[in-house]
Amino acid sequence: MNAYLKISINGQGLYEITHKVAEKVADSGINTGLVTVFIRHTSASLLIQENADPAVMRDLEHWLNRLVPEDDALYTHTLEGPDDMPAHIKGALTAVNLSIPIENAQMVLGTWQGIFLWEHRHMRDEREICINILGD
């Protein structure tokens, strides 16, 4: 079964989507299986990370922005703005898909784990995520 999510984004940052994915899993009727979450973009990514302390998200963002700065003289792909090529690099360094086991009709996430869309561009837009659920 495939389901789709449209997530409104308001610039760079981590957007928690755990509950939206959990709703799709619950609606699927699957008791035991696997959910794959896939983002259909090259300048955003997905992440499973701690969802209890917002400082974790800030620190991750600051660290990745330091690792992949904007306006680097090495970039030749610059037509779409100074944040575009860094966003592609960040997308290449992180993940575009996640696989999470399902047990008792729920995702088997740890106590502090959440699913995040990680937007790497400054734009305000919408991102599309495909959720594939397989099992019994």
Q: What is the pLDDT of residue 120?
A: 98
Q: What is the pLDDT of residue 130?
A: 98
Query: What separation, in Å, do the N-terminal and C-terminal C-alpha atoms of the chain show?
Result: 11
Q: What is the pLDDT of residue 84?
A: 96
Regions of the chain where pLDDT drops below 50: none
Q: Give the long-range contacts of residues 97-100, CB within 8 A, separation 24 or more.
A: 97/36, 97/37, 97/38, 97/39, 97/46, 98/36, 98/37, 98/46, 98/47, 98/48, 99/34, 99/35, 99/36, 99/37, 100/21, 100/34, 100/35, 100/36, 100/37, 100/48
For the chain, the domain total comes to 1
Predicted model pTM: 0.96
Q: What is the pLDDT of residue 13?
A: 97
Q: What is the pLDDT of residue 72?
A: 94
Q: Which two tokens stand for residue 68?
A: 């992949």
pLDDT tens for 54-88 read 999 999 999 999 999 998 999 999 999 999 999 99
Q: What is the pLDDT of residue 38?
A: 98
Domain coverage including residue 71: 2-135
Q: Which phi-psi region, left, alpha or beta, contains residue 70 (left: φ > 0; alpha: ψ -120 to 50)?
A: beta
The C-alpha atoms of residue 78 and residue 103 are separated, in whole angstroms, by: 45
Q: What is the pLDDT of residue 96?
A: 98
Q: What is the pLDDT of residue 65?
A: 97
Q: What is the pLDDT of residue 119?
A: 98
Ranges of beta strands (E only) in 20-75 are 33-39, 44-50
Domain CATH for 48: 2.60.120.460
